[in-house]
Amino acid sequence: MLNKRYKFDGKPILQLNEIQLESKKVVEDRIKSKEYTFEKVNCVVCNNSDFELLAEKDRYGLHVSTVICKECGLLQTNPRMNQESYNKFYDTNYRKLYKGSEIATEEFFNFQKIHGKAILDCIEQRTNERFRNKFVVEIGTGAGGILQTFKDNNNKVFGLDLGSEYINFGKKKGLDLNVGTIKKLKELKIKPDLIIYSHVLEHILNPYEELKELRKYLKKDSLVYIEVPGVKDLKLNKSYNQDLLMYLQNAHVYHFSLETLKNITAKAGFSMLYGNERIGSIFRIGNINKNYKNDYKETMLFLRNLEEKRRNPFNLFRIKNKVLYSLVSLSKKTGTFEIARKLFKIINNTKQHLYYTKLVS
C-alpha cells in the first residue's frame, strides 16, 4: 500500500451527514450479508491479472480494494461489485451516499448548466466549430442541466440515465430524457453529432465494451466528449485536498490518467483530438489500435511523490485546509454552523466554476 492510512479501518475521512451515514451503514450491511457480491477480473485494457494493491478503503470508510495494473498502469477497483450489485447500489444508495440527498434540486441543475457551458466552450475552441443546430446526446445525464445549455444554444438534445428521480426532474424542464443505457440509442432516428460522457465512464464496469458499442450509433464525423476525474490532476486539484484517499470512492471502478484513457479509447477504435490530465477530452472514430503504452512507472512515481508531499508538515495547502475544516467543526459545536455552511457553499461554488472554466485552457 502507499501508506498505512490506506489500510481498511471503516473510518471515513469526510464529514458525512445523517443521510450519508445511514446509506453507508446500508452498504456495509449488504456487503456483510453478501447481498452485494464481489468479483475478481482481469484488466480491461491489457487483460493482465498482475496488480499492486494501493488502498483497502475509500473516502467514506468503505472496504474498497484499489489496485494498479503493472502491465498498463490503469488504477481500478478489484475485486469490485458485480453488475447486479452495482445496479442495486445506484438505485438505492448512490445519490444518498454521494450527495447526501435523495432527490435532484434546482441548485444541482444550475450547477450542471455551468458545467455544460464549459464543455460547450471547450468543444468549440478545440474543434474551431460553432456548435449550433446539432444533435447532442448525453449518457449519464443526471437531471439534464448540461443538455439544457446545449438546448439553449439551438441544439436538439437527448439524455439517458439510470436515476429515474433525476430524469423526471429534467423532463419537467422540457428536456427529452429517458431512463436507460447506451443500447437505447438504437431507437433514435438520427445519429448524434456529439456524445457526452461527463463523469460517467469511470462508473462503467467495462468501458471498453461500452465504447465499442458506441461506435455503432455514430457518424464518421461524430464527436465524443469524455470527462473523468484525472488521477494525475491530484497535484493541482484542490477539490480533493491533493489527497488520493479523498479521491477514492467505491462507485468509481476506474481511475484514469490521460494515457490510460487513450489506451482504452484506442482499443475501442477512437482517436483523441484533444485531452488534458484534468481530464477533459474530445475523440472521433479512428482505427482500432490495441497497442498500449504502460503508464505504471510514471503513475506510481506521481502517487509516491504526492504522498511524500502530504507528509511535509510545512505544506501550506494542507495547513490552510486543516484550519478551514477545524473552523467548520467548531461552528457545529457553537451553533454557528449555518453561517459556515453558507460560506462553504460560496467558496465551493466559486472553485467549481473555476474548475470547469479551466477545462478550456
CATH of the domain at 227: 3.40.50.150
342 shares a domain with 209: no
251 shares a domain with 164: yes
247 shares a domain with 178: yes
Residue where a domain stops, chosen among 258, 281, 296: 296
Q: Quick one: pLDDT at residue 210?
A: 96
191: nearest Cα among 148, 226, 220, 151: 220
275 shares a domain with 243: yes
Task: With respect to residue 85, please indicate whether it lies within any of the assigned structural domains.
Answer: no
In the chain, how many domains are there?
A: 2
Task: With respect to residue 16, please indicate whether it lies within any of the assigned structural domains.
Answer: no
Q: Quick one: pLDDT at residue 352?
A: 47
Q: Is the dihedral of CA 350, 355, 357, 358 positive or negative?
A: positive
Residue pLDDT tens, the chain, 361 long: 999 999 999 999 998 989 999 999 999 999 999 999 999 999 999 999 999 999 999 999 999 999 999 999 999 999 999 999 998 998 888 888 987 776 778 888 999 999 999 999 999 999 999 999 999 999 999 999 999 999 999 999 999 998 888 899 999 999 999 998 899 999 999 999 999 999 999 999 999 999 999 999 999 999 999 999 999 999 876 668 889 999 999 999 999 999 999 999 999 999 999 999 999 999 999 999 999 999 999 999 999 999 988 776 555 555 555 565 566 556 655 655 556 555 555 555 544 444 444 444 3
| Pairing status of strand 80-81 against strand 38-39 | antiparallel
Q: Quick one: pLDDT at residue 357?
A: 41
Cell of 255: 481511475
359 shares a domain with 236: no
Provide CB contacts within 8 A for 300, sequence distance 6+. 52, 68, 73
249 shares a domain with 338: no
Helix (H, G, I), strand (E, B) or coil at 90: helix
229 shares a domain with 123: yes
226 shares a domain with 268: yes
155 shares a domain with 264: yes
326 shares a domain with 271: no
356 shares a domain with 240: no
Query: Look-up: residue for cell 460560496?
Result: 346
Q: Which range marks the domain in which residue 349 is found?
A: 319-361
Q: Quick one: pLDDT at residue 354?
A: 46
CA angle 330, 336, 341 (to 5 degrees): 90
Q: Is the dihedral of CA 19, 21, 24, 30 positive or negative?
A: negative
Task: With respect to residue 314, please indicate whether it lies within any of the assigned structural domains.
Answer: no
Task: With respect to residue 203, please indicate whether it lies within any of the assigned structural domains.
Answer: yes
Task: With respect to residue 154, please indicate whether it lies within any of the assigned structural domains.
Answer: yes
**pTM to 2 decimal places:** 0.86
Helix (H, G, I), strand (E, B) or coil at 40: coil
Q: Quick one: pLDDT at residue 163?
A: 80
Q: Quick one: pLDDT at residue 345?
A: 56
Task: With respect to residue 274, please indicate whether it lies within any of the assigned structural domains.
Answer: yes
329 shares a domain with 266: no
